[in-house]
Amino acid sequence: MKMMTSPEDALPCDLISPVNGELLRPAGRNLLSDGERLWPHFDNCFYLRTGRDDLVDEVVSLINRDERDRALGLLLCDRRSPDTPEADLRQVEELLRSEVSFHDAIELLGYGGLGWYFEHRWIIPTYLSGLSLLHRHVRRNQRILELGSGVGHLTAHWEQDSELGSVCSDVVFSHLWLSQRYLRSGRTSLCFDANGPFPLPAGAVDVAFGHDSLHYLSDIPGAIAEMRRVASSGTLIIGHLHNAEAENYSAGQPLTRAEYERLVDASAVYDDSELTLAWLQQRRPRPLGAAHGRSVAALAFVEEALTGEETARTGERIGHACGRHPAELSGLMVNPLLSAGSPVWPSRKFVDEYVQAFPYLENLRAPGDAEVARINRGEANEAEVREWLANGVLVCPPDNWY
């Protein structure tokens, strides 16, 4: 596989060291310097994670010896925490040598249950709630930073409808690298720990966005303060935050609604399930009242410093599930989870976490082959196509996904 590398004399945007706060500068191929230490990067994915000194030193040494494939392989083996077994380096090296599908790539990386979450995220209700937030509260062509982006489905969606590149971030390097390879090459992707300083200067993006991620942090107040620092418009969007007063799968370290509201000067608060339903029905979401939310499993908060005129303009478009008008899409296909007629879910956890909470999933049915052919010829009923796209019955995957 041919590796994409950033030019030695240019960076896609200003980056700062998470250790000493200095501006990072190119220090040769695949390396940046903060004046005190070197930081590696591959394929526009910048490894700026603190607490991994031994790994960074080994990777930098390999780069200096021109053993770049092995250096990249070590970064791809890195995990969120020491409790998660590292990927098998031999499997990762096979991935680097071959042109495999996304499905096979996550198998080679040993993602396990996380793999199906990424592979099928277009049908997952929490993905739909994220789309609802983006299209309601971010204006066209605003540049976003997404925290805890995983492989970047939401950012990739937003970039299809925007002329400006955005920034993905995650604590796991391989998530970002997969996004570059399969979803959106050329995007700036930052691997760093959001419990510490963000490696971006003040006002680096228009909007800071985190969805289904902040409740896993140990320093939620610090992360929110950093989001506020880097968002030039003053808009923070924090979606699918687990509520400490309700039961949740993979709960993380959630707070209560009142505790979140002490950290966020919220102009709007939502029940995350209402955001999902709003997307399915292609309408604006309805905010929660001040007296509600104690029993809501997951919440969303928006902090925005907009004038009344700007607020009125924001969200007047209801978004399309693939980021473009149905008539502009090609290569639509039935979601593989529905290809047997009735849904075949990837795991029991999927059923427990999503299907039980959103019964509409069990009732999804796929259009037949003749109807799909009519859709791809642009002859189908547009309202039906919108509905199938919104609920994940139809998907428009990148090449080599399944």
| 188-191 vs 205-211, strand pairing mode | unpaired
Per-residue pLDDT of the chain (402 residues; tens, 9 = 90+): 333 444 444 688 899 999 999 999 999 999 999 999 999 999 999 999 999 999 999 999 999 999 999 999 999 999 998 778 889 999 999 999 999 999 999 999 999 889 999 999 999 999 999 999 999 999 988 999 999 999 999 999 998 877 678 999 999 999 999 999 999 888 899 999 999 999 999 999 999 999 999 999 999 999 999 999 999 999 999 999 999 998 887 778 999 999 999 999 999 999 999 999 999 999 999 999 886 767 899 999 999 976 444 544 444 445 555 555 555 666 788 999 998 778 999 999 999 999 999 999 999 998 888 888 888 888 888 888 889 999 999 998 998 999
Neighbours of 331 (CB within 10 A): 11
Its pTM stands at 0.92
Give the other-Cβ count within 10 Å of 261's Cβ.
Answer: 16
Q: Cα dihedral angle (189, 227, 136, 259), rounded to 10 degrees?
A: 130
With CA atoms as reference, report the closest residue to 133 among 346, 340, 287, 10: 287
Q: Which two tokens stand for residue 8?
A: 């030695």
Compute how many other C-beta atoms are within 10 angstroms of the C-beta atom of residue 353: 18
**Residues facing residue 148 across a β-bridge:** none
| Among the four given CATH numbers 3.10.20.30, 3.30.1160.10, 3.40.50.150, 3.10.450.100, the one describing domain 121-313 | 3.40.50.150
CATH 3.40.50.150 domain locations along the chain? 121-313
Which tokens hold the place of 11? 């960076």
DSSP helix/strand/coil, 231: strand
**H or E element, residue 133:** helix 125-137
**End-to-end CA distance of the chain, in Å?**
19
- The CA-based dihedral angle spanning residues 215, 264, 210, 285, taken in that order and rounded to the nearest 10 degrees: 110
Among candidate residues 112, 109, 92, the one with its CA nearest the CA of residue 1: 92
Q: How far is CA 82 from CA 117, 191, 374, in A?
A: 21, 17, 50
